[in-house]
Amino acid sequence: MSDLLSLWPVFLATFSVGLLGSGHCLGMCGGIASALGFAIGPEKQAKRTAILLSYNLGRVSSYTLLGAAAGIVGSQIGAASVLRIIAGVLLIAMGLYLANWWRGLSYLEKLGGVLWRYIQPLTKSLLPVQHSGQAVLLGLAWGLLPCGMVYSALAYSVAQGSALGGAVAMAGFGMGTLPAVVASGWAAQGFKSLFQNTWVRRLFAMSIIAFGVWTLWMPLAHSGHGAHGHHGGMNHGEMNHEGMSHEDMNHQNMDHSKMNHEEMDHGSMDHSKMNHEEMNHEHMNHSKTEADKNTP
């Protein structure tokens, strides 16, 4: 349970991406949802609702399973920082794609189309949809439809480095797309028009680009901090202090609380050049000096 709670920020992030990219979903998954809705007459509202919900359950489940697989791949690859950089680049590309400023993700969709050629014929046997079971299976298959948004979210799932993390990321993405796809099924024209409005799409696109930049910045910022040495983590017991110039060392900024003074050979250290006034002796454990260690 604690693992799931710790992944809450991941869920919110991908949910936002799915919601902001819903305008794209209207053209991809919204079409089949509309067809399902119109295939059932308005007099059968209960059946219509059940089929639409079942279709979306299958679709989100498909995304979640893909996310779990992507997380497993990420755990085997390692290099989380590199994976997050790739995810950030794809998120930026997705924002540009949604705003129609750059269509680079269309090349990825063409690659995914190779797999879709083998899956699409299977969906024909599920049409027309007569019951919820068929709708779930159709949704599972439709989750594999070539989509640049899905690929970008999958890259973010790979960067989670675990099956659970990847599954949560893609589940959040799938649920974020629900409002637009469900609205398509119910022919909610006002809602669809909002998501298809050029300026709304551009606003959403810029939000996704901003998220992509943040995703890029995180590993780069951490790598910058990692380049600085942390003196507190150094094992001074294994250091040869004879050749070190203590005169040039700034002991004031050093954390001596983590130094192992028992293993240090103070007898061979030249203390005449050390500035003891600037050293913080409060954190230093001098209880066992060389003389103490030689005392039986």
Cα–Cα distance measured from residue 111 to residue 102, given in angstroms and rounded to the nearest whole number: 18
For residue 163, the one-letter residue type is: A
- Distances in Å between the Cα of 24 and the Cα atoms of 30, 192, 276 are 9, 11, 67
Return the structure tokens found at 4. Answer: 């799931």
pLDDT in tens, 10-68: 999 999 999 988 777 766 676 677 777 666 766 677 888 888 899 999 999 999 999 99
216 near 89, Cβ under 8 Å? yes
pLDDT in tens, 116-127: 999 989 888 888
Residue 7: CA atoms inside 13 Å, Cβ hemisphere, count? Answer: 23
Bond into 42 cis (ω within 30): no
pLDDT in tens, 82-139: 888 888 898 899 889 888 898 888 888 888 888 899 998 988 888 888 889 999 999 9
Cα–Cα distance measured from residue 33 to residue 143, given in angstroms and rounded to the nearest whole number: 13
246 near 270, Cβ under 8 Å? yes
